[in-house]
Amino acid sequence: MKKLSILLMIAFGYMPVASSFAGEVTWYDQGDPLSTQAELPPSLSPEYLDPETGVACAGINIQKTLSLADIAEAALCNNPQTSEAYASAKVQAAQLGIAKSAYLPTVTDTVGVNSNVAIPSSSNPRGNPYSNLNNSIAASYLLYDFGNRDANLENARQLLQAASATQNATVQNVLLSAIKAYYQVQADIAALSAAQESEHFNQESFNAADAKYKAGVSTPADKLQAQTAFAQATLTRITAEGKLKTDYGVLANVMGLNANTILKLAPSKTQDITKDIEKNIDELIERANLRRPDLIASEAQIEAAKANTKASQAASKPTISLNMSNNQQLGTDISGSNNTSLGVTVSIPLFTGYLNSYQIHAAEATEELRAAQRDQLRLQISLDVWTAYQDLRTATETIKSAEALVASAKESQRVALGRYKAGVGNIIDTLNAQSALANANQQQIQAVLNWNIARSTLAQSIGMLDNAMIQSLPDGKKIVQETQP
């Protein structure tokens, strides 16, 4: 009975078997023997790794004043989209390991224990009951399959490359979202400051109108008009405060933080944005066709589809395998056996209900689909680059005009208010000048926001939105040149 208990423990996994006696090895966790993890892209670019510890995002502290580079780093480290993209690449790396495993033999050990009761008991001279142990080891190795394994391996490799490129595209999209959110908050801060300044000017006009009314040198209409303008300016300031809080929440969300997280941003630095941006648009589009990660992923999808077509074609052909087995039976009685076999198996699919034919048709159609998607993406890329380039040019010219408009509006407002206080101007001219200044300030703020976003969008449309590009933007940690492809 003790022997039977031990056999049952072995059969049902309560004791280690085979090589497990020598250590803690388990059947389901063998690490990465086929080295598929080595073909994974890094979870983050090397520039986001701590040079001493090698840990990503080790230096992020949201309690400090954050620059654009800090925002971008936090977004890449904390945003779930980057983790999702990396996890997808890991899944595909495991699929590559599955494809590689087809080149190795398979070995299966089957252990069975049974207890037999003889009726009548007199039929068993050694007693009743008795037990048997069956141990069967079978090994199989695929010798030749007309290229099916090779095609499946190539398919897995190309899909891993596509997943890696998709991860890169996701990183650039997250970076662009972080940049847009950062500059939107900076624009909101500037808009709030301009609204506060406008409110101050309108309050000054109202105080002047009220003083003149009390002195009997102004009509009630002047005071009411000034009061209305002051109230409108106050409402604009309150609205600007609310928008700033909302966009702070958007920025925190892009960084992978709760929307109510308190953030402190460094003041936005100025940069010469009137420099010549005339570039060869054909060159930019050609560069995008070489660098855009989504196009690289699309090309890899095409190659994977081609490999899948070859695999489907090979699946309809015979396979040749080498097989070996050993079957041993031990019992508590005197009976027992040990049989070993070795042979070659040829498997010929004679008829599969037209399964292989339609699998080939589906694979060929998928190949055509991937090619059409690639062509459509290439057209979209050219439009993305063209649109971003024109937006950048427009934003640059708009900034030049906005700067002149603000300078003129400031002077007009100063003169109009001075004339009104001196008694030689009217309240309408003063309020109009202040309104024009407020509009000019808002246009300048929007123009700067559009320029920052347009430049970042152009870099992303070309596939160049990386750490070096972020460092060259206003409020980066340092100014570096764009890396050429």
Q: 3-52, pLDDT tens digit by residue?
A: 333 333 333 333 333 333 333 334 445 678 888 888 877 665 545 555 55
Give me the CATH code for the 106-144+317-351 domain, please.
2.20.200
Give the pLDDT score at 30: 62
Give the pLDDT score at 372: 97
| C-alpha separations of 458 from 133, 144, 222, 450 in Å | 71, 51, 50, 12
Residues of the chain with CATH 1.20.1600.10: 36-104+147-316+356-472
| CATH classification for the domain delimited by 36-104+147-316+356-472, as one of 2.40.30.10, 3.30.70.100, 1.20.1600.10, 1.25.40.10 | 1.20.1600.10
* CA–CA distance, 336 with 327 (Å, rounded to integer): 11
Put the strands of the sheet holding 319-331 in their side by side order: 106-116, 130-144, 319-331, 336-347
CA atoms within 13 A on the CB side of 75: 28
Neighbours of 245 (CB within 10 A): 13
Query: Which amino acid is located at 45 in the chain?
Result: S
Global pTM reads: 0.79
Q: What are the pLDDT digits (tens) for 223-255?
A: 898 899 999 999 999 999 999 999 999 999 999
Residue 224, token pair as written in the block: 């009411």
Residues of the chain with CATH 2.20.200: 106-144+317-351
Give the pLDDT score at 91: 92
Q: Which residues of the chain have pLDDT under 50?
A: 1-28, 46, 53-54, 274, 276, 477-485
* CA–CA distance, 458 with 39 (Å, rounded to integer): 30
Give the pLDDT score at 457: 92
